[in-house]
Structure 1
Amino acid sequence: MFKKILAVTAMLLATAAYAAVDANKGGAADFDALKGVGPAMSKRIVDARQQGEFKDWSDLMQRVKGMKDKTAAKLSGEGLTVNGQAFKGAATAGSAKSETRAAKPAVAAAK
């Protein structure tokens, strides 16, 4: 019986470790638990949130220094959400960059 209780407890703790942390609800300790977030980033998120809740990922990235597309995509993969939404801008940003790169040779060839 003790082994079953221990196994269930371990499963619950593992599930809690992979739970998403919302930028509008989490505390500094919650953010610190995410891989890639240290005390400085946690403090910046909490301080920016004191001005008001984040509307979306772009709002979070504008108000938190050091939070760019690459960082947002990484932290979203680790479980960070904004209003329950994962970061979706990385695919759009990556597509725009590849389209720009593809267009440059054509412009250079036209000259």
Structure 2
Amino acid sequence: MLKLKKLLLGFMLFSSAWGLSAETVDINSATVEQLSKSMNGIGKSKAEAIIQDREKNGKFKSVDDLTRVKGIGAATVEKNRDKITVGMDAPNSDPVTNKAK
């Protein structure tokens, strides 16, 4: 029984530590620095392009809308899907999958 308790405690600590390291970034409000730091394959120039697109075309409705930014394709979106969100006020987005409804 003691081994089981230790195992469960270890799992809980591991799970909570993993959950804390998985920070998300809101592509509708993030700065260049936040975008480039949080996302794989996104440097300063692509982060600037994300912000320019957001200012020109309005907020992203879903994470998939990032593909409208030149130089960002579906593969980049997929490898970052668990790190990015469109915030709570963006319409037509599923908060669980970050995909358009």
TM-score category, normalised to shorter length:
0.5 to 0.7
Aligned residues: 75
Whether the 8 Å contact between 1:73 and 1:87 is mirrored in structure 2 is no
**Residue 19 (structure 1) aligns with:** 23
Q: Distance in 1 between matches of 2:64 and 2:36?
A: 21
How much does 1:50 deviate? Answer: 0.6
**Residue 36 (structure 1) aligns with:** 41
Higher radius of gyration, 1 or 2: 1
Q: Which runs of 5+ in 1 are unaligned?
A: 1-13, 90-111
Whether the 8 Å contact between 1:21 and 1:80 is mirrored in structure 2 is yes
Whether the 8 Å contact between 1:55 and 1:83 is mirrored in structure 2 is no
How much does 1:21 deviate? Answer: 0.2
How much does 1:80 deviate? Answer: 1.6
Tell me the TM-score normalised to structure 1 length: 0.54
**Residue 53 (structure 2) aligns with:** 48
Q: Distance in 2 between matches of 1:18 and 1:82?
A: 16
How much does 1:39 deviate? Answer: 0.6
Tell me the TM-score normalised to structure 2 length: 0.59
Whether the 8 Å contact between 2:35 and 2:42 is mirrored in structure 1 is yes
Q: Distance in 2 between matches of 1:68 and 1:47?
A: 17
Amino acid at match of 1:29: E
1:52-111 alpha-carbon deviations (Å, 9 max, x no partner): 11122343312x11221111001214x12223644558xxxxxxxxxxxxxxxxxxxxxx
Q: Distance in 1 between matches of 2:99 and 2:55?
A: 24
Aligned CA RMSD, in angstroms, stands at 2.7
Q: Distance in 2 between matches of 1:71 and 1:87?
A: 14
